[in-house]
Structures are given as structure tokens and as C-alpha cells.
Amino acid sequence: SRRVTIRDLRAAKERGERWPMLTSYDMYSAEVFDEAGIPVLLVGDSAGNNVYGYPDTVPVTLEDLIPLARAVVRSTHRALIVCDLPFGSYQVSSEQALTTSIRVMKETGAQAVKLEGGLTVVDSVRRIVEAGIPVMAHTGFTPQSVNAIGGYRVQGRGDDADRLIESALALEEAGAFAIVLEMVTAEVAAEVTKRLSIPTVGIGAGPDCDAQVLVWQDMAGMRAGRMPRLVKQYGDLRGALATATRAFAEDVVSGAFPAEEHTYH
Ligand code: KIV
Ligand code: NA
């Protein structure tokens, strides 16, 4: 069975079908999501704060993401794989954005790239798309700019709404095949979704987007602490792993593991 394509996603919007997207950074999660039929997997720079132990996505490099994207591509057959362009790998110029995108496509086997920004990245999006590389845009709250934005702040309130809608239209016009709307008011996200013919992918952007994305560790309950409002936890993977870990530790201390059945003679 072939992989999902950007044409399939546009057709889904025309049919009014919603679809799920998840991040993935490794073999087993990718296998599970692919087998569950998740049509699009994102090797997100959220690996920064979900794999590499950084506080946010700002320190993540291309060298950090490329091996993870390779692993996700190798471990899947059906999903369309999108690889994030990390902070610093595309903001310098549209040349840099294209050069980085080509490198990601060649070295990972991903089928698309994603980058953050509004009107300032429109030229880069156009340039990458013209080279034959599908681009997923990402606007609203853009985590790579967290230091400029001054925290995790909802976008699209007041005068900001027009700027957001204008950016989304320009990104579509530049050739983006989809657009992530992060922490955008439901009202603005609904308006953008209605005005665009490419799918919108919401994360904290209300119920009217064409698709929804979550970081998989948030979705599955792997992360600890207080969750942002935009997260729904569909499992307790952290609890399950902690229970298994304590049972293993106890068995080693008591001598119950390894038993005869785990032993070679
Ligand atoms: O890196 C990431 O996980 C993302 C999604 C939240 C859209 O960019
Ligand atoms: Na990202």
C-alpha cells in the first residue's frame, strides 16, 4: 500500500473529512501510529523538549532531527512523513531555506518539510515548493520565536486576527499544502479554515480545523506535570512504564528475575 500524498489531504478537505496527525521521533511509536492509520506523522522539533531534554525547541539542530526522521521513515509504510526545519536552519534567507529543505529530503526520505512563520517566510515557502518539495506552514504561536513572543501566548486576539488571516492566505498562495495553526482562537482558526482550500491542522485552535495534531507523549500521557489546556491525554503511558519499572526492579532485588524460563543452559 502506497503512502498518503498531499493530493489525498486536499481531497479529504474537499470531502469534509477530518484527520489526525501526531509527532513521532522513533521506531516503535512510528510503527504503532502507522499501523493505527494516522495519515501524517511529524518529526517535530518538539524533539527538543520531548526527546533531547531541552526546555524548548530553540536549541534543536538539523543534526538532531535528521537521524530521528530517518528512523520514522524507515519504520513506516503508509503515513506521509513531515520533517520540521529547526530554528536557525531557514531564517537567514530563502536560499538557506531551500538548501536545508533539499538536505532534509535527501538525507531522511521524508515527503515534506515544515517551517514556522507568517509573511516573512512566504518567499521561502514559494522557493522550496518550486523546487518540488511539499511545505507545511506553521503559524499562530510559533515556538521557535518563544523568546520574541514572550511566552506561550494565544494568538489571533484583537487586531492580531487580521494579520493571522492575511498570513495564512499568503502561505497558501505561496504553495503550502497545509498549515498548522498553533494556539489560535477557535474563531480565527474557523475563519482561516473556511477561507483556505488547503487543510488547516489545529493544535489549541478549536474544533473547526480540518485536522488536529498533538505531541504524541502529551496524547498518550507520557509527560509529567500540569498539561496545557490544548492537551487531552488518551492514556497513562507514564504510569504504565513506572509500574513495569518498579516490578522489574523488585524482581531483580528479590531474585525472582530471571526465572528458569529466561535462563540458558
Ligand atoms: O514540533 C512540533 O511538535 C510541532 C507541532 C506541535 C505542530 O510543530
Ligand atoms: Na515544531
Q: Please indicate whether residue 203, judged by its CB atom, sits closer than 6 Å to ligand 1.
A: yes
Q: Please indicate whether residue 65, judged by its CB atom, sits closer than 6 Å to ligand 1.
A: no
Which residue's CA lies nearest to atom 2 of ligand 1? 44
Annotated binding site for 3-methyl-2-oxobutanoate: which residue ranges? 45-46, 84, 114
d(CA 224, CA 239): 10
Are 93 and 120 part of one and the same domain? yes
Are 242 and 182 part of one and the same domain? no
What are the CA-CA distances from residue 225 to residues 146, 216, 218 (Å)? Answer: 20, 16, 11
Are 196 and 249 part of one and the same domain? no
Arithmetic mean of pLDDT, 247-259: 98
Which residue's CA lies nearest to atom 5 of ligand 1? 44
Q: Please indicate whether residue 213, judged by its CB atom, sits closer than 6 Å to ligand 1.
A: yes
Q: Which atom in ligand 1 lies closest to the alpha carbon of residue 143?
A: 8
Arithmetic mean of pLDDT, 100-125: 98
pLDDT tens readout for residues 48-98? 999 999 999 999 999 999 999 999 999 999 999 999 999 999 999 999 999
Are 121 and 29 part of one and the same domain? yes
Are 137 and 76 part of one and the same domain? yes
Are 35 and 72 part of one and the same domain? yes
Work out how many domains the chain is built from and give that number: 2
Are 15 and 99 part of one and the same domain? yes
Which set of grid coordinates corresponds to residue 60? Answer: 534543536
Are 247 and 165 part of one and the same domain? no
Are 250 and 170 part of one and the same domain? no
From the CA of 23, the nearest ligand is: 1
Buried b (16+ CB within 10 A) or exposed e, 177-191: bbbbbbbbbeebbbb
Arithmetic mean of pLDDT, 26-30: 98
Give pLDDT, residue 1. 72
Give pLDDT, residue 82. 99
Going by C-alpha positions, the residue among 170, 203, 175 that lies closest to residue 189 is: 203
Give pLDDT, residue 76. 98
Q: Please indicate whether residue 215, judged by its CB atom, sits closer than 6 Å to ligand 1.
A: yes
Side-chain half-sphere exposure of 18, counting CA atoms within 13 A: 11
Q: Please indicate whether residue 46, judged by its CB atom, sits closer than 6 Å to ligand 1.
A: yes
d(CA 91, CA 174): 17
Instruction: Compute the mean pLDDT over every residue in the chain, rounded to the nearest whole number.
Output: 98
C-alpha of residue 240 to centroid of ligand 1, in Å: 25
Indicate the top mutation candidate among 38, 46, 223 to test ligand 1's pocket, ranked by most ligand atoms within 8 A of CB: 46
Are 191 and 104 part of one and the same domain? yes
pLDDT classification of 230: cutoffs 50, 70, 90: very high
Are 199 and 248 part of one and the same domain? no
Q: Could you list the active site residues?
A: 182
Give pLDDT, residue 37. 98
Residue 243, domain member (yes or no): yes
Residue 1, domain member (yes or no): no
**Which CATH number is 156's domain given?**
3.20.20.60
By residue range, what is the domain housing residue 21? 6-234
Question: 257: how many CB neighbours lie within 10 A of its CB?
Answer: 13
pLDDT of 200 over the 80 cut? yes
Give pLDDT, residue 186. 98
**224 φ, ψ (degrees, to nearest 5):** -100, 165
What are the CA-CA distances from residue 37 to residues 27, 31, 231 (Å)? Answer: 15, 10, 21
pLDDT of 127 over the 80 cut? yes
